[in-house]
């Protein structure tokens, strides 16, 4: 029996308990992703008579220090770069069920991964750009020790070969998920290729960096999307903070939280960990790739159209 076995794996063995949630961020730096995730977790937990306790950790305080004794926890849901934390490893070794939002190597025990389909989302975005005739696609990565980023970058590299895109190394620039880093990365891409060989599209690995890239392109005298198209990922940046409607791969973050909670309760009920459980993403097409109706690149596609992926 695995966590994919639905009704039979659940219910009778479940009991009231407390779910611990660990987020790799500080309370003062919470973006829009975490509240949506926590809503999904709390909503699903409440349906199964479970409470939720939340702890935060960060790069300058890497070890998780929960207030609740391990014996009071039904299980843990963990998001962020906390793999390798000694407290979590102790809990996993002791058999406490743990669900990871994302994937990391090295954790053993009753550990199940639940993640967005980063490969499918990247395929949708790069396929969309290729369909629009873009061939010199730059990429602004996130932090390169984040598994999501590694998956998206490997998929991007594969698609550059499969779709016959420009494969030069100078089209890859690192960012850190902030709008400022997206702005700096776009300026670097333009510095590396200032002439006719300039990038004609940019894949930013989150919407905040896409917003920064758009601002940098505009200030450099380029038109988005006519001169350079821009896509993001996550659809978690507040729309009013974006310079325009950004084409992006939208994760259903609330559903990710619900699915993580269901997977955890399956483990508690006796299910065995299985392969990573993937939550599909949608392609949301905005004006950053097709313009506002009159753009030459609209191809009769309405602004903000949603396209479901062929794979999940």
**2 falls within a domain:** no
Mean pLDDT of 59-72: 56
236-272 pLDDT, tens digit per residue, is 666 666 789 999 999 999 999 999 999 999 999 999 9
CATH number for the domain harbouring residue 94:
3.40.50.2300
164 shares a domain with 293: yes
Q: Is the bond leading into 117 cis (omega within 30 degrees of zero)?
A: no
Which domain covers residue 205, as residue numbers?
118-251+282-307
173 shares a domain with 301: yes
Euclidean distance between CA atoms 158 and 118, whole angstroms: 14
264 shares a domain with 221: no
pLDDT of residue 306: 46
Q: The tokens of 171 are what?
A: 């089209």
220 shares a domain with 133: yes
86-105 pLDDT, tens digit per residue, is 777 777 788 889 999 887 65
Beta sheet of 305-307, edge-to-edge order: 248-251, 281-285, 305-307
Q: The tokens of 28 are what?
A: 């003062």
User: Does the pLDDT at position 26 exceed 80?
Assistant: no
As to burial, measured by CB atoms within 10 angstroms (0-12 exposed, 13-18 middle, 19+ buried), residue 52 is: middle
**1 falls within a domain:** no
1 contacts 272 by C-beta, under 8 angstroms: yes
CA angle 145, 151, 152 (to 5 degrees): 105
231 contacts 156 by C-beta, under 8 angstroms: no
256 shares a domain with 243: no
**203 falls within a domain:** yes
pLDDT of residue 201: 98
Name the domain count of the chain.
Answer: 2
189 shares a domain with 40: no
258 shares a domain with 133: no
1-11 pLDDT, tens digit per residue, is 555 554 444 44
**312 falls within a domain:** no
Please give the residue that has the higher pLDDT: either 168 or 237. 168
**DSSP conformational letter for 66:** -
34 shares a domain with 94: yes
271 shares a domain with 183: no
49 shares a domain with 139: no
């Amino acid at each position: 029996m695995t966590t994919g076995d639905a009704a039979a794996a659940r219910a009778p063995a479940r009991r009231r308990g407390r779910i611990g949630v660990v987020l790799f961020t500080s309370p003062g730096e919470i973006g829009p992703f975490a509240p949506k995730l926590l809503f999904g977790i709390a909503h699903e937990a409440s349906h199964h008579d479970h409470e939720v306790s939340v702890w935060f950790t960060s790069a300058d305080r890497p070890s998780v220090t929960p207030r609740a004794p391990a014996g009071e926890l039904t299980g843990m849901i963990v998001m962020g770069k906390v793999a390798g934390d000694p407290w979590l490893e102790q809990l996993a070794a002791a058999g406490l069920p743990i669900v990871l939002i994302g994937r990391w190597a090295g954790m053993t025990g009753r550990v199940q991964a639940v993640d967005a389909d980063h490969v499918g989302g990247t395929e949708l975005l790069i396929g969309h750009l290729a369909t629009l005739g873009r061939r010199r696609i730059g990429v602004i990565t996130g932090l390169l020790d984040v598994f999501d980023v590694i998956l998206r970058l490997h998929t991007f590299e594969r698609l550059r070969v499969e779709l016959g895109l420009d494969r030069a190394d100078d089209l890859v620039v690192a960012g850190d998920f902030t709008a400022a880093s997206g702005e700096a990365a776009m300026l670097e891409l333009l510095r590396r290729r200032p002439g006719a060989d300039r990038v004609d599209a940019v894949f930013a690995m989150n919407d905040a960096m896409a917003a920064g890239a758009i601002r940098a392109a505009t200030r450099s005298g380029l038109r988005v999307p006519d001169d350079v198209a821009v896509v993001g990922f996550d659809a978690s940046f507040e729309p009013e903070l974006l310079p325009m409607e950004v084409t992006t791969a939208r994760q259903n973050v609330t559903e990710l939280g619900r699915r993580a909670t269901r997977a955890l309760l399956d483990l508690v009920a006796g299910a065995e960990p299985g392969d990573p459980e993937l939550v599909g993403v949608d392609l949301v097409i905005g004006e950053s790739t097709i313009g506002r109706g009159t753009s030459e690149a609209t191809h009769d596609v309405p602004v903000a159209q949603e396209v479901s992926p062929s794979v999940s």
